[in-house]
Amino acid sequence: MAVSEYDLYIGGKWVKSETGKTFDSLNPATEESIGRFQEGNEADVRKAIDAAEKALPAWSDMPAPKRGLILLKIAELLRKDKERLGRLVTTEMGKVLPEGLGDVQEAIDIFEYMAGEGRRLLGHTTTSELHDKFAMTIRIPVGVMGLITPWNFPMAIPSWKMSAALICGNTMVIKPSSDTPLCVVELVKLMERAGVPPGVVNVVTGPARTAGQEIVKNKKIDGLSFTGSRDTGEWIMANVGVKKVGMELGGKNPIIVMDDADLALALDGIIWGAFGTTGQRCTACSRVLVHRAVKEKFMRMLVERAKKLRTGNGLDKTTDVGPLINKAAREKSERYVEIGRKEGAKISTGGERPAGKGFFYRPTIFDDVSPDMRIAQEEIFGPVLSVIGIKSIDEAIEIANGTEYGLSSSVYTKDVRNAFLAMKKIEAGITYINSPTIGAEVHLPFGGVKKTGFTREAGIEGIEEFSHSKTLYVDYSGHLQRAQIDVE
Ligand code: NAP
Residue 75: count other Cβ atoms within 10 Å of its Cβ.
Answer: 22
Query: What's the DSSP call for residue 457?
Result: B
Q: What is the DSSP string of 161-222?
A: HHHHHHHTT-EEEEE--TTSHHHHHHHHHHHHHHTPPTTTEEE----IIIIIHHHHH-TT--
User: Please, which pLDDT band fits residue 342 given cuts at 50, 70 and 90?
Assistant: very high
Residue 476 CA, ligand 1 centroid: distance in Å: 51
Active-site residue, from 117, 168, 214, 282: 282
Rounded Cα distance, 329 and 480, in Å: 65
Whether residue 248 lies in the annotated active site? yes
Rounded Cα distance, 444 and 460, in Å: 8
Residue type, 56: L
HSE, side-chain direction, 13 A CA sphere, residue 311: 25
Cα-only R_g, the chain: 24
Q: What is the pLDDT of residues 260-276, one digit of tens each?
A: 999 999 999 999 999 99
Residue 354: count other Cβ atoms within 10 Å of its Cβ.
Answer: 12
**CB of 476 closer than 8 Å to CB of 134:** yes
Alpha helices, DSSP H, located in 224-313: 230-239, 263-275, 292-308
HSE, side-chain direction, 13 A CA sphere, residue 15: 20
Q: Phi-psi category of 98—alpha, beta or left, where left has phi over 0 and alpha has psi -120 to 50? A: alpha
Q: Which of 290, 390, 261, 396 is nearest to 348 (CA)?
A: 290
Query: What's the DSSP call for residue 478?
Result: S
Mutate to test the pocket of ligand 1, among 95, 282, 438, 457 (most ligand atoms within 8 A of CB): 282
User: Which residue's CA is the nearest one to ligand 1's atom 30?
Assistant: 228
Q: What local confidence, expressed as pLDDT, does residue 11 receive?
A: 98
Residue 325 CA, ligand 1 centroid: distance in Å: 13
Residue 79 CA, ligand 1 centroid: distance in Å: 27
User: 251 CB less than 6 Å from ligand 1?
Assistant: yes
Q: What local confidence, expressed as pLDDT, does residue 89 receive?
A: 97
User: Which residue's CA is the nearest one to ligand 1's atom 42?
Assistant: 282
Rounded Cα distance, 292 and 55, in Å: 60
The percentage of the chain sitting over the pLDDT mark of 70, rounded to a whole number, equals 100
Q: What is the dihedral of CA 65, 71, 72, 78, to 10 degrees?
A: 180
- pLDDT of 1 over the 70 cut: no
- pLDDT of 488 over the 90 cut: no
Q: 385-408: buried (b, 16+ CB within 10 Å) or exposed (e) per residue?
A: bbbbbbeebebbbebbeebebbbb
Which ligand 1 atom minimizes the distance to the CA of 452? 41
Residue type, 70: I
Residue 31: count other Cβ atoms within 10 Å of its Cβ.
Answer: 13
User: 467 CB less than 6 Å from ligand 1?
Assistant: no
Q: Is the pTM of this model over 0.75?
A: yes
Rounded Cα distance, 272 and 320, in Å: 10
User: Please, which pLDDT band fits residue 2 given cuts at 50, 70 and 90?
Assistant: confident
User: Which residue's CA is the nearest one to ligand 1's atom 26?
Assistant: 150
The percentage of the chain sitting over the pLDDT mark of 90, rounded to a whole number, equals 97
Mutate to test the pocket of ligand 1, among 160, 230, 232, 236 (most ligand atoms within 8 A of CB): 232
User: 381 CB less than 6 Å from ligand 1?
Assistant: yes
Burial class (CB in 10 A: 0-12, 13-18, 19+), 363: buried
Rounded Cα distance, 458 and 125, in Å: 24
**CB of 271 closer than 8 Å to CB of 310:** no
Q: What is the pLDDT of residues 134-176, one digit of tens each?
A: 999 999 999 999 999 999 999 999 999 999 999 999 999 999 9
Segment 228-248 shows an average pLDDT of: 97
Query: What's the DSSP call for residue 311?
Result: B
User: 160 CB less than 6 Å from ligand 1?
Assistant: no
Q: Phi-psi category of 312—alpha, beta or left, where left has phi over 0 and alpha has psi -120 to 50? A: left
Segment 434-459 shows an average pLDDT of: 95
Rounded Cα distance, 321 and 69, in Å: 38
User: 177 CB less than 6 Å from ligand 1?
Assistant: yes
Segment 458-483 shows an average pLDDT of: 96
- pLDDT of 12 over the 70 cut: yes
User: Which residue's CA is the nearest one to ligand 1's atom 43?
Assistant: 282
H, E, C per residue of 70-101: HHHHHHHHHHHCHHHHHHHHHHHHCCCHHHHH
Q: What is the pLDDT of residues 13-43, one digit of tens each?
A: 999 999 999 999 999 999 999 999 999 999 9
Q: What is the pLDDT of residues 161-214, one digit of tens each?
A: 999 999 999 999 999 999 999 999 999 999 999 999 999 999 999 999 999 999
Q: What is the DSSP string of 8-50?
A: EEETTEEE--TT--EEEEEETTTTEEEEEEE---HHHHHHHHH
Segment 243-250 shows an average pLDDT of: 97
Residues forming beta bridges with residue 148, ordered by sequence position: 175, 226
Mutate to test the pocket of ligand 1, among 152, 183, 234, 236 (most ligand atoms within 8 A of CB): 152
- What does the angle CA 277 – CA 460 – CA 204 come to, to the nearest 5 degrees? 55
Q: What is the pLDDT of residues 76-135, one digit of tens each?
A: 999 999 999 999 999 999 999 999 999 999 999 999 999 999 999 999 999 999 999 999
User: 158 CB less than 6 Å from ligand 1?
Assistant: no
What mean pLDDT, rounded, does the chain reach? 97
Active-site residue, from 92, 117, 214, 248: 248
Residue type, 372: D
